[in-house]
Amino acid sequence: MFLVATGVLWSLVVQADERSEPMTSQHEHSAGSVHGGPIAAAAAYLGLDERELRTRLAGGRTLGQVALEEGRSVRGLEDALLADLKWHLDADVAAGRVASDRESQILTAVKSRIDRMVECRSRHSPSASAA
């Protein structure tokens, strides 16, 4: 698990798909913040508020399904999530909290698995408990 030093949990989505947890964080900044974490980034891209997005995820939807329902592309959603992560990592590199080579490793790992993360269901959703 990886905790970005800024306090934003990106639980390194490499592991998120293995744990079947949604991309949420107790450490996210205020609602509506463009750089508040993955849920804020996804909600901003989708044109939803965080509460609505969380409700849909808890109801069994994946981020990918919500994107399609909102007429947005899954690829665009993935790009928005990666941009948000890179923004946080760049800030941590600039502050000396994360080494530049580590930033590259994290981004490479996340890029290789972002599609699974976007299709991951919440373990609290009705669909996940039926599986």
> Is 102 within a domain?
yes
> Is 93 within a domain?
yes
Instruction: Give me the residues paired with residue 9 across strands.
Output: 3
- The structure's pTM equals 0.70
Range of the domain at 50: 12-115
> Is 127 within a domain?
no
Residue 37, pLDDT > 90, answer no
Tens digits of residue pLDDT in 44-81 = 999 999 999 999 999 999 999 999 999 999 999 999 99
What is the number of domains present in the chain? 1
Task: With CA atoms as reference, report the closest residue to 98 among 17, 16, 6, 9.
Answer: 6
Reported as a pLDDT band with limits 50, 70 and 90, residue 6 is very low
User: Region 113-119: what's the mean pLDDT?
Assistant: 87
> Is 40 within a domain?
yes
- Determine the Cα–Cα distance for residues 116 and 64; give it in Å rounded to an integer: 10
> Is 43 within a domain?
yes
> Is 124 within a domain?
no
Residue 21, pLDDT > 60, answer no
> Is 128 within a domain?
no
